[in-house]
Amino acid sequence: MVNITLPDGSIKSFEDAPSGRDVALSISEGFARNCVAVELDGAITDLSTPLPGDTAIRLITKKDPEAIEILRHSAAHVMAQAVLELYPEAKLTIGPAVENGFYYDIDMPPVSEDDFEKIEAVMKKIIKAKLPFVREEVPKDEALDFYKDEPYKQEMLADLADGTISFYKQGNFTDLCRGPHLPHTGYIKAFKLMKVSGAYWRADQNNAQLQRIYGTAFFDKKQLKKYLHFLEEAKKRNHRKLGIAMDLFSFHDEAPGMPFFHSKGMAVWNVLLDYWREEHQRAGYVETKTPIMLTRTLWERSGHWENYRENMYTSEIDDFEYAIKPMNCPGGMLLYSSQPHSYKDLPLRQGEIGLVHRHELSGVLSGLFRVRVFHQDDAHIFMVPDQIQDEILGVLQLVERIYSTFGLKFHLELSTRPEKSIGNDADWEVATDGLRSALDRYGQEYKINEGDGAFYGPKIDVHIQDALGRTWQCGTIQLDMSLPERFDLFYVGKDNDKHRPIMIHRTIFGSIERFFGILIEHFAGRFPLWLAPVQAALLPINDDLVEYAESIQSTLEAAGLRTELDRRTESLNRKVRDAQLAKTPLILTIGGKEKEAGTLSVRTLDGKVRYGILQQDFLDQVVAHVKTRKLDFDIFQDS
């Protein structure tokens, strides 16, 4: 008798060793139809795998988070089978599941999205056939013989240790794979090929260029439809397109990966930094500034020359080597060491909007999200050990205030000591306990990433969530036990002896350029009034009213509002449409009636039009709305 224990503690008994599917069927046929794999001893394996005697298992259903990756990995195999049927000379490499889908890298003639329809048609036939995914294991020499005409598989096999090699078959298709896979191809209820791009074998430009075909797959058509709708929404919010349409920034071939901010983009930029400075002054920070180019000896001392050299831009001046800073931290160490410190000076909170340069490969550059030059809102906090918890809590509260102002939710992750690290066990324990205690006091749930900290200390990562539910890692809070040691930083304690300060690195915006891009997509370009590059567009209905409109513009700008006066001889409808396309929150129509009555007609981004608003009432309500940094467009108190 074989006893199988389920997660709820119940036990299922069988005369012979069952498979995961047998256990699922013993619960019900309906339940079995929803099962895709089984977890055994912490590893996920195929539902058909015989279970090794008495054991505890967890059946993976379509609703479990692991299931979608299994589905997409299986879909990659189906796509590869379809490609080989259509292009018999194609050579397969790898086809993993990735976030939101899967891809397969294939050595074959170039294909385009125009070819997707015929590939999808073959995939549908394979899925309809409900071909079982069958695992086979053979010795390595047999695997090499099987793939004697497949150079990429031969190379992959050569990297594997001698022993048993696993294959998966579906119909007449076989692929080298660890698995697991779905019970059969019919589980793939909805899929779509998405795009194709070039990719070098093993990401090496000296190797052959392959065709990387991307797709996505779901367990039902509603999920696919929802995902495709999400992509359409994301496309509408694409910050690169909106940035150009709204005249915020541009990129030029003369400076790849280095954004040029236009006057309207700088208006938003300055509002962001004004807010940052206001909040940091309130939180007890002082603002500092360090040079962007420092000597090689500094970067050797900090460890960046050894560990980060390939990402740094360098120059030679007066026979000395220099590097443009990729990070602000070493300059912050020099600032601290420029004068003596007592325990009475601590905590010392130094913030910097630092301009940094990092060499990124051209293939990964992506609008404002991945650039080669950007500004970091760094801060370095120096403290004594018993201040760790309060300082971390203070940073978390500052993070919450700032993100909530933009309507951004967030979650937290604590990453602990990695295998490769510096420092002693006692310091790591103090640092990690300080972060954990602060998180516990803060009271928000957090995830622990064991062994995922920086080599110099544990950290808290802050992941924000935008209006489409996408997450972005922006803020980070890191405890550093390396740089204070490398730069021999100290403070004089109560005992009049020297002590090493504890240091926190932290960012909130992270890369300000990237945060800017996130905000464009979060708001779909419809910035709240306080953040909008142009807060009010003035539209005189004819040339005779331009001078009057200019006087109104002067009054608004004197009150601190950002305005734009449309002097063109276009129709009023055209002017209104252009202002709406520019996402201007307030569109002021100025006609003869408005001039005579001293009123304004105001159109807002929520689609409402209000007539006869007295100019002073307009000014009072708009200024109050901006001052409180409200997110909604309900600016006026309706009478």
Catalytic residue ranges: 329, 358, 376, 378, 380, 459, 505
CB 431 within 8 A of CB 502: yes
Closest CA to 392 of 506, 277, 275: 506
Both tokens of 55, joined, read: 């054991």
DSSP conformational letter for 444: -
Both tokens of 393, joined, read: 């809590």
Secondary structure (H, E, C), 450-492: CCCCECCECEEEEEEECCCCCEEEEEEEEEECCHHHHCCCCEE
| Distance, CA of 47 to CA of 71 (rounded, Å) | 13
| Distance, CA of 604 to CA of 307 (rounded, Å) | 52
- Matching residue, tokens 């940091």: 280
The percent of the chain in helix, strand and coil, each rounded to the nearest 5, is 40, 30, 35
| Long-range residue pairs from 529-532, CB within 8 A, at least 24 positions apart, any chain | 529/585, 529/586, 529/622, 529/625, 529/626, 529/630, 529/633, 529/635, 530/271, 530/625, 530/626, 530/627, 530/629, 530/630, 531/268, 531/271, 531/272, 531/629, 532/268, 532/562, 532/583, 532/584, 532/585
Secondary structure (H, E, C), 351-408: EEEEEEECCCCHHHCECCCECCEEEEEEEEEEECHHHHHHHHHHHHHHHHHHHHHCCC
Rg, C-alpha atoms of the chain: 30
Rounded (10°) CA dihedral 105, 107, 110, 112: -30
Both tokens of 26, joined, read: 């013993």
Q: Which residues lie closer than 8 Å to 194 by C-beta, 6 or more apart?
A: 101, 214, 215, 216
Beta bridge partners of 164: 139
